[in-house]
Amino acid sequence: MRLPTPDDPEMMAVVDQYLMPRERYLKLLHGNFLAMPERKRSRFGRELSASAHQISDQELSLLLDGEWRSRLTAAWLIGIDRRTQFRSRLHGMLLDSELVYSGQGYCFAFARFADEPAAASLVAYLDRYLPDPTCHYNQDWAMGALLHLDERLRTDHAARFLAPHGLWARSAMRGRDPMELKEEMDRRCSFAEAITS
């Protein structure tokens, strides 16, 4: 993992440019930007969209090598610009779940990819982490993203997880309403669509 330190000016430059403007990563965390006043959210969206188009694949890779703030931000930028060339890497990072919060960004990116391979990555993640009732990772974001994709793709991948007495009902997320999670992901993806159209 690369940290933004004076010993790593390349990483520091990318972090300063893409994470730190107006503490962007804090607004991406949990989708906090959706609670911003309309005017501020619009400006945030314009700046986020510009960064998503401007950042190079090399800079994104560098951020994905970093700590959770870097990974979270990189994944959002990847999702907004739909850079599916990062699909395999995000798949592995989601399944590994090494760092807190960054999985939120991976789930958002897969929701934005809006295809069967993205759904397969979310299914693999839920298969791995839902069976452990003590595991509070990003299963809520993954379920929201999977339900979002099921609607878009006209599939029913989430159905087996949500069956009565199924994995969801026995998981650490059993108190969360899957349809509310879907609506939250719908809102994030609608925001992304609006700022890129």
**Residue 3 pLDDT class (50, 70, 90 cuts):** low
Residue 149 CA, chain-centre distance (Å), reads 14
By the 8 A CB rule, do 175 and 141 touch?
A: no
Burial of residue 187 (CB within 10 Å: 0-12, 13-18, 19+) is middle
Query: What is the per-residue pLDDT across 156-172, written as a single tens digit (0 to 9) for each?
Result: 999 999 999 999 999 99
**Residue 37 pLDDT class (50, 70, 90 cuts):** very high
Asked whether residue 4 carries a pLDDT value surpassing 70, the answer given is: no
pTM, two decimal places: 0.95
Cα–Cα distance for residue pair 73/27, rounded to 1 Å: 10
Asked whether residue 22 carries a pLDDT value surpassing 80, the answer given is: no
The whole-number average pLDDT for the span 131-153 is: 96
Asked whether residue 5 carries a pLDDT value surpassing 60, the answer given is: no
Query: What is the per-residue pLDDT across 57-103, written as a single tens digit (0 to 9) for each?
Result: 999 999 999 999 999 999 999 999 999 999 999 999 999 999 889 99
Cα–Cα distance for residue pair 78/55, rounded to 1 Å: 9
Q: 34 CB contacts (<8 Å, ≥6 apart)?
A: 41, 187, 188, 191
pLDDT at 105: 98
Torsion of CA 187, 35, 78, 167, to 10 degrees: -60
**Residue 21 pLDDT class (50, 70, 90 cuts):** confident
Cβ atoms within 10 Å, residue 1: 10
Backbone angles phi, psi at 95, to 5 degrees: -65, -35
Cα–Cα distance for residue pair 104/160, rounded to 1 Å: 22
Burial of residue 87 (CB within 10 Å: 0-12, 13-18, 19+) is middle
* Alpha helix ranges (H) inside 24-166: 24-28, 38-54, 57-64, 68-80, 87-96, 102-113, 116-129, 139-153, 159-162
pLDDT at 19: 85
pLDDT at 183: 98
By the 8 A CB rule, do 111 and 79 touch?
A: yes
Burial of residue 131 (CB within 10 Å: 0-12, 13-18, 19+) is exposed
Paired tokens of 173: 């997320």
